[in-house]
Amino acid sequence: MTKTITLAHGNGGQENNELISKVFYKAFKNDILEKSEDAAVIHNGELAFSTDSFTVSPLFFNGADIGKLAVCGTCNDLAMMGAKPKYLTCSVIIEEGFDLRNLEKIVRSMKQELEINGAIVVSGDTKVVPRGSVDKIFINTTGIGEIQKKGISSNNISSDDLILVSRDIGAHGATIFAAREGIEMNTSLESDCASLYPQVQVLIDADIKITALRDATRGGVSAVLNEWAKQSNICIEVEEEKIPISDEVKGICELLGFEAMALANEGTFVLAISKEDAQRAIEVLKTFEKNSKASIIGKVSDQYIGKVVLNSSWGTKRFLELPTGELLPRIC
């Protein structure tokens, strides 16, 4: 590791994983933490528990704002463990001089998203710091959810599963970058930021055999698949032509040299589903308007244990590595 923290340490990729494992996991090591799930499963498997901090620039962007992001982020982490979000805490650090009207707008966004999840804020904290100490506003949310379906874990993926994505990928990262850099696009590109619990609940109600779920945020789908391959000691083979990517995201990636699989998402999740239920899971996901491009993108094999292999439409193969470098800082 480097001797100082860089922006790359917050990218959700290789440097971020190294920081977590060599500093935080080393100090706080315990059986629950080492499972490396989106949320901790506690209280005899009845509850899920998660926390997240949000620092996005700009605060308001097409499709969402930092308030919606803060509630979706924590509630989605709970949902990925099959849990219904119930109780959240909210802590904010606000820069002196911040516009009160913008704060009220952010809080309204949070309220609306809480209602979608059926959750409430039960505790919080507010700090105001001198101008220049933070960039406008930082938000932390912590959540507790009631587990509706036990046994969902990214440590249990096997050759009995297929790999799915719930919708087209990379929209959040592309939207944030376009807004930040002032790129004007005559398209409908917007962040995919959304609460995922309603989708997870429908999958549970349909009795879909779910092995694992993961919200593909920082580091994107690439980070999720690499983490899964290592956690479950498997190889994941992905068919490149099956990966749903919108034309707008493809355009930004081609223009700026990004990899869509490494772009952040805030309303897109990856699923490991039993082969016998994979197609039915796709049908369930497609009942949601934004999920028209839900797809089966890969399978589990033992070809290269701990690795993700991308099979191109030209018959070639390459490793899909964990993202490295700074990518897009301040995205969530």
Q: Bigger pLDDT: 16 or 57?
A: 57
DSSP 8-state code for residue 315 = S
**CB hemisphere CA count around 220 (13 angstroms):** 26
User: pLDDT tens across 152-165, in order?
Assistant: 999 999 999 999 99
User: How far is it, in rounded angstroms, from Cα 180 to Cα 256?
Assistant: 14
Q: What is the pLDDT of residue 6?
A: 85
User: How far is it, in rounded angstroms, from Cα 203 to Cα 198?
Assistant: 9
User: How far is it, in rounded angstroms, from Cα 200 to Cα 269?
Assistant: 10
134-162 burial: b if 16+ Cβ within 10 Å, else e: bebbbbbbbbbbebbbeebbbeebeeebb
Q: What is the pLDDT of residue 89?
A: 98
Helix, strand, coil shares of the chain, percent, nearest 5, are 35, 25, 40
Q: What is the pLDDT of residue 255?
A: 84
User: pLDDT tens across 70-100, in order?
Assistant: 999 999 999 999 999 999 999 999 999 999 9
User: How far is it, in rounded angstroms, from Cα 48 to Cα 82?
Assistant: 8
Sheet holding 210-215, edge to edge: 210-215, 269-274, 161-165, 295-301, 235-239, 308-311, 317-319
* CATH architecture for residues 7-147: 2-Layer Sandwich (3.30)
Q: How far apart are the first and last CA of the chain?
A: 24
pTM of the model: 0.95
Residue 116 tokens, joined: 């979608």
Confirm if 313 and 307 have CB atoms less than 8 A apart: no
Residue spans of the domains in the chain: they are: 7-147, 161-319
Q: What is the pLDDT of residue 187?
A: 77
Q: What is the pLDDT of residue 62?
A: 94
Confirm if 238 and 311 have CB atoms less than 8 A apart: yes
Number of other CB atoms surrounding residue 294 within 10 Å:
24
Kindly give, in sequence order, each residue whose CB lies less than 8 Å from that of residue 86, ignoring residues fewer than 6 positions away. 118, 119, 120, 143, 144, 145, 146
Name the CATH superfamily for 161-319: PurM-like C-terminal domain (3.90.650.10)
Q: Which residue matches tokens 């901090």?
A: 53
User: pLDDT tens across 290-305, in order?
Assistant: 999 999 999 999 999 9
